[in-house]
Structure 1
Amino acid sequence: MSTRNWPRHLLCLSLSVPFGPALACGPDFPMQLLRDRAQALAELPEGNFAFEVNRLGQQLAGLKPTTEVTLMPYWDGDDNDRPYRAQRSQVEASELPQNLREKVARLRTLQDPQQVEAQGADLPDELRLYIAGAVAFDAGDHAQAVDYFNKVLALPAEQRKLRSTWAAYSLGRALAAQSLEAGDDAQAVPEPLRAQARQAFQQARALSAEGFSDPLELGVASLGEEARLAKLAGDWDSAVQLYASQSRLGSGNGYSSLRQLADELVAMPDEPLKTLLQQPMARKLLTAYLLSHIGWDYDRQQPVEERRLPRLLQASVGDKLDDADRLAALSYQAGDFAAAEGYLRHAGDTGLAWWLRAKLALREGDKAQAATAYAKAAAAFPRDESWGARQTPDWDYESVKPGCRVEGEGAILALERGDYLQAFDQLYRSQEIYWQDAANVAERVLTLDELKGYVDAHVPAPAAAKAEEGSYVPRPVATQLRELLGRRLLREGRYDEAPSYFDTPQLQADAKAYVQNRKDAVSRWTATGRAEALYAAATLARTSGMEILGYEMAPDYAWLGGGFSLGSAEIQPGPLIGAGELQRQQATEAKPDLRYHYRYVAADLANQAADNLPHSSQAFAAVLCTAAGWVPGSDQERALYKRYVGQGPFVEWAEDFGKQCEAPRFDQANKRYVTEALDTARDVLRPYKAQILPLGLVALAGVAWLWIRRRKTKA
């Protein structure tokens, strides 16, 4: 068996457990909606904390998403700022000419900002003043640092293109440090300094957005710095929104800060938490935390200390229902369906609201209303909305794109009512997310003509992917579907149509060779020729069967390269499985319905080859021996060996039948037909040899007399 590349996360031992129960040791497999249809319709996947908090952030014009330049906090003993200094030095080295680069590096080692001014007199003003401010900041003289950074910002715009954003950001940091120092002084008032610091951070963002140099992405970093000051002042609304805006721009610092704020909310006693939840953003942050199950334990259970939080959150909402769909989702997940329905009256037409309405309609048994709600949910969700990856209660993984998920759940209802093509289309549109479900419908539920019509109309062959040497390129789902169709066409004997659906020249060649061998097995004149063609087809079925004949799903699991088995795909009649689907599934099951079913097909073809060979020939023994080795330990292996023992010739290598087999010599098999005919004649005539010998002599004498007479006549 040859296999194609599997996803690289499939690294454990093969599984052979019943289909349906939770799988034991092995890799994480994708969730299949059709495995437990009732569960798929009943559950609402948990939200994604990053997605939920990013919704709370503002879209800030002019600020670009972060790159690898934005560093995460780095804790390294007593020198946590080392990565930032190294990054700053790299930037300065890249943007300054060689003569300035060396001078700037030297000036940064000084301890006195006045020395910087004196020794850097030949530098541009913005560089000299900024470095002097940085030296003052490192020395702890924040007031002097503020003065220098203000001097940079006071320069004409054309004279501070390199350090405007840096100066505003550093000014904010220096003012923030001063506010902390003022907080330690009973006579000082830190609030004005914090306000000035926040203004400086806002200025840093404005300068970055205007196009002033910002290679360190300080405009985005300023969001987190300002948020920290807002939090210190008790302004949770501003803090959450600023951190969320930072996170929305791709900064992990914004995300981690919101995690910390959420943890603070969870740890608060009831009374201070009630007060804080009057601030809308604090309330929304707690909603995001609870909806995403981010604090749940390894066994997917909500910690005891969190179970009070939904009640406190709902009590704080009152008539402030701008997040009604999220509150409805929380209520649904908690099993409070009446509360969920109440919130949905105020939830509008969001995708989440319609999704929940569909689920509540199913609980009431109204599948028509549920189907309508699913369609509205699919239309309302942005196609690119993603909630990230989750682990299901069965330890499968799911990449949650809600638009795809609601279409998948709608497909379950479509299957039940017999709209098989619609169900397949909805599942296929998810591409790799629910590919296993789509594949199951494609090869087990749709008729072959339905599947071929869909592929021909909607799934053209993708362009060949270009991969760098040694890199892994996932196969397009369109390619997988087309090859699924090609394999099904071969299995069902529609040979001429199949090869063009295979992706690679090698697979197309294998498919064409298999087709030609199957045709030759019918059309060749001699029995030996037919046997040779059948054996060639059998060999291809064994060596390339996974790729040209295997089922994508059970029993072969071609999507896993055959390396894993998830058990049988047998289904039982139930509330969500109609009789029509059941009948179609039964009609398309593998024959035999065993893992690597194509090996048994190969062995059967070899057995048919033996039917066309003289039983006394070496080829007869060789094809049976080889076929037995393809299906070790099976009833078919035992039947092949029994046939050899009863009908075949003695061969020395038969002692290890199925394991050490010679290649069949078809060229010698024809001779055995003549030999077998003569042997049969001898066996039949042997009892009459006493009578036959005189008769033979008489006949020979008669022939001789006729010959002599003819010679005389001619003479």
Structure 2
Amino acid sequence: MDSHSFKLMLAALLVPGAFAAPACSVSFPPSYIDLQDEAYSPELDLHFHLCALAHHYFPDCIPAKKPVASTPVAAAVPPDPDCPEERLFAAGREELRRNPENRFPGAWQELLALPESERPRRTAQTLYLLGNLQAQENPAQAYFWYQKLREAVGRGVPDPQNLAEQSFRTNYFYAKDPVQRMRFLVLAAAFGRCSGDAQEANWQRGEPCPFRRELWNELGAMIRRDPNRFLRDPLTAEVAVLFRPELVRQVSGPFVCGDRLALRAFRNGAFDDCRKLLAGSTPDSPLLLYLEARLARREGRFEQSAALLRKWLEHYRRTTADSAAAPQLDSIRFSPAGHGWNPFPEWSGLYWPVSCRTERLPGRGMEEEVRGQVGATQYHSRLFLEALYSFLMGNAWSDAALVAEEQLDIAELRRFADAHETNPQLPPEMKRKLRHLLARRLMRENRFAEAERYFPAGLREVCRAFATEAATAENPALSCEERAAAWFRMGQIMLRHDIALFGYELAPDYFICDGAYDGYPIRQRAPRALPRFHYRLREAGCFRMAEKLSQEPAFRFLATLSGGLVLRSRTPAAAEEFYHRLVRLRFAPYSPELDRFRWIPAPPAGWKERIAAYDVADRDGIPALIAQLLSALDTAGSKTADQRRGI
């Protein structure tokens, strides 16, 4: 596989929805608390920047539109060679054959002088060819004819060959002067269209639009060959700096998007270049405020940095209704530092060809980034409730969870969750996660009835059932067998929902990663009162209590075996007690076999589901279930006891 194909494949993998990434991977949100300013790295949509340059330097440009013919032309009907339109078009071609230096045949002048309704077939083609005739020696004159072409197509002149779209390409393709070529190449990148832009399925398969690929490759190649050639023209100079940030030291500006270039310089660690570019930025630029805050924090002026970030949020609230400012902010995304979305490192910050699409780009937006940094500032100032709110508003869930679990007691967290239950500003998913975290904290404190209302809808009935069984299990007025059955049912519930009912969001359980703690990127510093897999210890304890209270030998053996299976793999030291209890119960024929085996054998696949589905009232079904769970007891071979324990 060549390097280009590999990059396309990598880009396809990074597109949201292209594949299901592991819950805790490099794409998982890093922590603002741990990494502060190094958590995320900004990336800019290069297409937006090129569009801004094209709008600034070609304010009269008419974008290509899909042709809508006001006078339909039937492709199947052959043209009449005797009609004035066809006769004049053919005469013009003959003039060119006789005199290739002719740039405006007289016959075509007559054709264009006809009323537009009398030349439906040849108008677009004639204007396009007139532009092509000028494209090499005089690209500006070619631009004039292409403009007329796009204007005519916009009025409804038929353009079955999509020549208005192709005109952007020919305007730059035939230009001989490199600076002129790049100027019109930027125009093509900004306003040109091609049928591949909307073919989202091709992008998902790693097949980008050929037109876009040609533009990006051409820009990069021209700048790499002779970058200094383009520094004399302000448009091409800014493009050169966009692709080669170090060239900013040779250019004094002005820059159309100097604040965006400053953001690129900051990301690359060129802080002097960043300050130089900021000096020429407009005072009301949101990027100016953001970068001043980042520079202040880097220089140790934390209070000033926090004040500038808060000012940014106030400015953002005032300008959210400004449709002109929104695209600029939306074109800036933040990816985890060191793991950008860009598959082309030499063009760092280029979304390609995602920039051709209209939906939201991957990564975090500027508002989320600023709120995350504000939250980190508040956290280090020990303003934990304020930090929690900022992290939730910024969708920085890992940091919000750290505050909610480590810095707030249950009463504080509960008051916060209740106060913001109906807050329309907080993202609904953040509120749901926070309430679920609170519910699990209450469950760990054995406050089952209080926890129910904070669980997600799908777990409320589960919590209610667990609370009911817990009340039965702890009721001394009931018989021992009734209480034993309740304890067993509690263990069954936990087999299905243990971490979702009792797990910590972060260390030691990492519910945030579905328990995949090995890959979690946030460094945890606070020690936990409960050990890793504490919910499994609680789960096994439910089965242990069922065995202690019951007087039925088969049920006692099943309950002890269930508890041992829960612990045998992850915490074998804790499973020792259950193993010895299974042997001491002397339940034939399994206790003697277990004594010879020296450990609890590995259960069959789906053992949790089998135990969880067992009806406690069906005592006659216990022998069959035990036989299934211990089906491997006689096929252990000659493994040692330590090997059977997994040691």
AA aligned to 1:438 is: A
Residue in structure 2 matching 1:369, options 283, 301, 304: 304
Contact 2:127 2:148 in 1 (8 A): no
Residue number in structure 1 paired with 2:578: 640
Residue number in structure 2 paired with 1:592: 531
Count of residue pairs the alignment pairs up: 539
CA distance in 2, matches of 1:408, 1:650: 59
CA distance in 1, matches of 2:123, 2:224: 37
RMSD (Å), alpha carbons? 4.8
Residue number in structure 1 paired with 2:542: 605
AA aligned to 1:102 is: A
CA distance in 1, matches of 2:98, 2:556: 94
CA distance in 2, matches of 1:140, 1:493: 97
Report Cα offsets for 1:226-267 as digits up to 9, x if no partner.
344667473367425513532799796467525522431232
CA distance in 1, matches of 2:87, 2:333: 46
Report the CA distance shift for 1:208/1:638 in structure 2 as closer, same or farther (over 3 A): farther
- Residue 38 of structure 1: how far off its partner (Å): 4.5
- Residue 644 of structure 1: how far off its partner (Å): 3.7
Q: Does structure 1 residue 200 correspond to structure 2 residue 145?
A: yes
Report Cα offsets for 1:437-469 as digits up to 9, x if no partner.
33444444444444444444545599xxxxxxx
CA distance in 2, matches of 1:157, 1:538: 83
CA distance in 2, matches of 1:149, 1:440: 74
CA distance in 2, matches of 1:131, 1:439: 73
Q: 1:25-424 counterparts in 2 under 5 A? A: 28-34=26-32, 36-38=34-36, 40=38, 45-58=42-55, 100-103=74-77, 107=78, 116-118=79-81, 154-157=113-116, 167-168=123-124, 170-179=125-134, 190-191=137-138, 194-210=139-155, 219=164, 221-228=166-173, 232=177, 234-235=179-180, 238-239=183-184, 241-246=186-191, 253=211, 256-268=214-226, 273-290=227-244, 310=246, 312-317=247-252, 320=254, 323-326=257-260, 328-329=262-263, 331-333=265-267, 335-347=269-281, 348-380=283-315, 385-388=330-333, 390=335, 392-393=337-338, 399-424=363-388
Residue number in structure 2 paired with 1:544: 497
- Residue 603 of structure 1: how far off its partner (Å): 1.4
Residue number in structure 1 paired with 2:483: 530
Contact 1:236 1:282 in 2 (8 A): no
Residue in structure 2 matching 1:624, options 560, 574, 582: 560
Higher-Rg member (1/2): 1
CA distance in 2, matches of 1:65, 1:459: 49
The residue matched to 1:45 in structure 2 has which SS? strand
Residue number in structure 1 paired with 2:597: none
Q: 1:506-585 counterparts in 2 under 5 A? A: 506-523=458-475, 525-562=478-515, 565-567=518-520, 571-572=524-525, 582=526
- Residue 543 of structure 1: how far off its partner (Å): 1.3
Report Cα offsets for 1:107-126 as digits up to 9, x if no partner.
4xxxxxxxx434x97xxx98
The residue matched to 1:278 in structure 2 has which SS? coil
Q: What runs of 5+ residues in structure 1 fail to find an aligned partner?
A: 1-5, 16-26, 70-87, 108-115, 184-189, 292-309, 463-474, 573-581, 670-715
The residue matched to 2:382 in structure 1 has which SS? coil
CA distance in 2, matches of 1:140, 1:619: 105
Residue number in structure 2 paired with 1:466: none
Contact 1:546 1:558 in 2 (8 A): yes
CA distance in 2, matches of 1:151, 1:322: 42
CA distance in 2, matches of 1:622, 1:612: 13
**Identity rate, percent:** 21
CA distance in 1, matches of 2:449, 2:94: 82
Report Cα offsets for 1:463-490 as digits up to 9, x if no partner.
xxxxxxxxxxxx9555545544444443
TM-score by length of 2: 0.68
AA aligned to 1:351 is: P
- Residue 626 of structure 1: how far off its partner (Å): 0.5
- Residue 617 of structure 1: how far off its partner (Å): 2.8
Q: Does structure 1 residue 429 correspond to structure 2 residue 393?
A: yes
Contact 1:390 1:400 in 2 (8 A): yes
Report the CA distance shift for 1:315/1:604 in structure 2 as closer, same or farther (over 3 A): same
CA distance in 2, matches of 1:546, 1:133: 82
Report Cα offsets for 1:376-412 as digits up to 9, x if no partner.
3445566652435756326899714233222212221
Q: 1:440-459 counterparts in 2 under 5 A? A: 440-458=402-420
Q: What runs of 5+ residues in structure 2 fail to find an aligned partner?
A: 1-15, 199-208, 317-324, 343-361, 595-599, 621-647
Contact 2:230 2:240 in 1 (8 A): no
Report the CA distance shift for 1:233/1:638 in structure 2 as closer, same or farther (over 3 A): closer
AA aligned to 1:613 is: S
AA aligned to 1:37 is: L
Contact 1:599 1:630 in 2 (8 A): yes
Q: Greater CA deviation, 434-443 or 602-611? A: 434-443
The residue matched to 2:296 in structure 1 has which SS? helix
CA distance in 1, matches of 2:153, 2:92: 19
Report Cα offsets for 1:274-319 as digits up to 9, x if no partner.
452121111211222245xxxxxxxxxxxxxxxxxx1x432221x6
The residue matched to 1:31 in structure 2 has which SS? coil
Report Cα offsets for 1:492-542 as digits up to 9, x if no partner.
4343344444545x5333232223222322236223222221221211111
- Residue 176 of structure 1: how far off its partner (Å): 4.2
The residue matched to 1:399 in structure 2 has which SS? coil
Contact 1:247 1:255 in 2 (8 A): no
Residue number in structure 1 paired with 2:587: 650
Report the CA distance shift for 1:430/1:255 in structure 2 as closer, same or farther (over 3 A): farther
Report the CA distance shift for 1:172/1:198 in structure 2 as closer, same or farther (over 3 A): farther
- Residue 201 of structure 1: how far off its partner (Å): 1.4
AA aligned to 1:117 is: D
Report the CA distance shift for 1:257/1:140 in structure 2 as closer, same or farther (over 3 A): farther
- Residue 371 of structure 1: how far off its partner (Å): 0.7
CA distance in 2, matches of 1:134, 1:451: 82
Report Cα offsets for 1:157-191 as digits up to 9, x if no partner.
5567x76xx843x33542344346xx6xxxxxx33
Report the CA distance shift for 1:438/1:419 in structure 2 as closer, same or farther (over 3 A): same
Contact 2:489 2:616 in 1 (8 A): no
CA distance in 1, matches of 2:91, 2:507: 69
TM-score by length of 1: 0.62
- Residue 133 of structure 1: how far off its partner (Å): 11
Report Cα offsets for 1:599-624 as digits up to 9, x if no partner.
3331122223333234x632222111
The residue matched to 2:76 in structure 1 has which SS? helix
The residue matched to 2:171 in structure 1 has which SS? helix
AA aligned to 2:483 is: R
CA distance in 1, matches of 2:365, 2:449: 39
AA aligned to 1:369 is: Q
